[in-house]
Copies of this chain bind each other. A is one copy, B any other.
Amino acid sequence: MRQAGRYLAEYREIRKSHGLLEICRTPELAVEVTLQPVRRFGFDAAILFSDLLVPLEPLGIPFSFAQGEGPRIENPIRSRSDVDRLRKVEPRESLAFTLEAIRLLRRELEVPLIGFAGAPFTLASYAVEGGPSKSFEKTKALMYEDPETWHRLLSTLASVVRDYLTAQVEAGVQAVQLFDSWVGALSPEDYRKFVLPHSRAILEPLSKLGVPRIHFGTGTSGILREMREAGGDVIGLDWRIDLDRGWDELGKEVAVQGNLDPLALFAPKDVLLDRVDLVLRQAAGRPGHVFNLGHGILPATPVESVELLVEHVHAHVLP
């Protein structure tokens, strides 16, 4: 999960003079904000600071962030001709800033670096809706009304994301995470028909690169088996399911990441540690658990809670 962000004073300091996308696109800044939380908390791995939408611009789908709101896409993708107009993307050229940040980070970091990219469904949902959405009306309408265009769009996105993650591995990331943040809006049937093949088209070829592949979503308690079928060495679980129950669904051959509610970090110390212990207890007895939040850390999160969490998990896990 993104470790950096508005809950850190040192990040807010940088944001005073730099926009979110400017940070993503300026290797030195991306390196700095990636390192900030690792320095402060001593996490066991770093995750590249970036935004999941960065591949959209080279595709020909420019976007911006309105103050205090989500992304806004000026010309959403709604038709076959919109999809046909998308440009061919060579991530080594048009997303070179990310790859440069990775190379710089590898020199600085003593812990492993996780690369990341948005998954085709989540990217498409922004591209089609034109911004964040609650019910994904336009996305599902395109899916249902013009499945050919939908599959064309998702397969275009999948090939960009596959190349982007491959380039990240070549630049030095030691694991990759595919973020399908909004895929929990779908029925299992829609996931199987409209999403699974495209996520698989990314995750399958990446298996040859020899780095762990983390496959993450939220609200996915009902489609865990389908996500597993799409691929990944580690499947992300959010807090809406008991970790052990989710792991039983997935089967023991796969690792899991999760699954503390980010809101638990707002709780008093004893409640927070109680929830952390529950996760650790549910994960006990089998290898392959990556302790993490079930979704991104919130801006108002108290920094002391994060310190406490890291210390507690380390004390539990390390000999």
If A222-B246, A240-B187, A245-B222 touch, does A144 touch B267 (CB 8 Å cutoff)?
Answer: yes
Q: In the complex, what residues of B have CB within 8 A of residue A268's CB?
A: 144-145
| CB < 8 Å neighbour of A189 from B141, B186, B242 | B242
Say whether A188 contacts B145, CB under 8 Å: no
Do the beta carbons of A241 and B275 come within 8 Å of each other?
no
- A289 interface residue (CB < 8 Å to B): no
Is A300's beta carbon under 8 Å from chain B?
yes
A131 contacts the other chain (Cβ, under 8 Å)?
Answer: no
In angstroms, Cα B154 to Cα A51, docked, is 39
Select which of B137, B190, B240, B267 is within 8 A of A266 by beta carbon.
B137
Instruction: Name the interface residues of A18-56: CB closer than 8 Å to any CB of B.
Output: none
Q: Are A240 and B263 interface neighbours, CB within 8 A?
A: no
The answer to whether A240 and B261 touch (CB under 8 A), given A137-B300, A268-B144, is no
Q: Is the beta-carbon distance between A241 and B137 smaller than 8 angstroms? A: no
A298, CB-defined interface residue at 8 Å: yes
Q: Which of B144, B188, B266 contacts A241 (CB 8 A)?
A: B188
Q: How far is the CB of A272 from chain B (nearest CB, A)?
A: 8
Question: What separation, in Å, do the CA atoms of A266 and B190 have in the docked complex?
Answer: 14
Is the C-beta of A81 less than 8 angstroms from some C-beta in chain B?
no
User: Which residues between 178 and 218 of chain A lie within 8 Å of chain B, taking CB atoms?
Assistant: 184-190
18 A/B residue pairs, CB under 8 Å, sorted by A: A135-B262, A136-B263, A137-B298, A140-B261, A140-B263, A140-B267, A141-B266, A141-B267, A144-B266, A145-B267, A187-B261, A188-B245, A189-B242, A189-B275, A190-B261, A222-B240, A222-B241, A222-B246
Contacts of A261 in B (CB 8 A): 140, 187, 190
- The residues of A with any CB-CB pair to B shorter than 8 Å are 135-137, 140-141, 144-145, 184-190, 219, 221-223, 239-242, 245-246, 261-264, 266-268, 271, 275, 278, 298, 300
In the complex the two chains form, is B275's CB within 8 Å of A240's CB? no
Q: Known: A144-B267, A300-B137. Contact between A219 and B190, CB under 8 A?
A: no
Closest B residue, CB atoms, query A274: B189
User: With A and B bound together, what is the CA distance between A184 and B278 in angstroms?
Assistant: 19
CB distance from A245 to the nearest CB of B (A): 7
Contacts of A188 in B (CB 8 A): 240-242, 245
User: A138 CB to closest chain B CB, in angstroms?
Assistant: 9
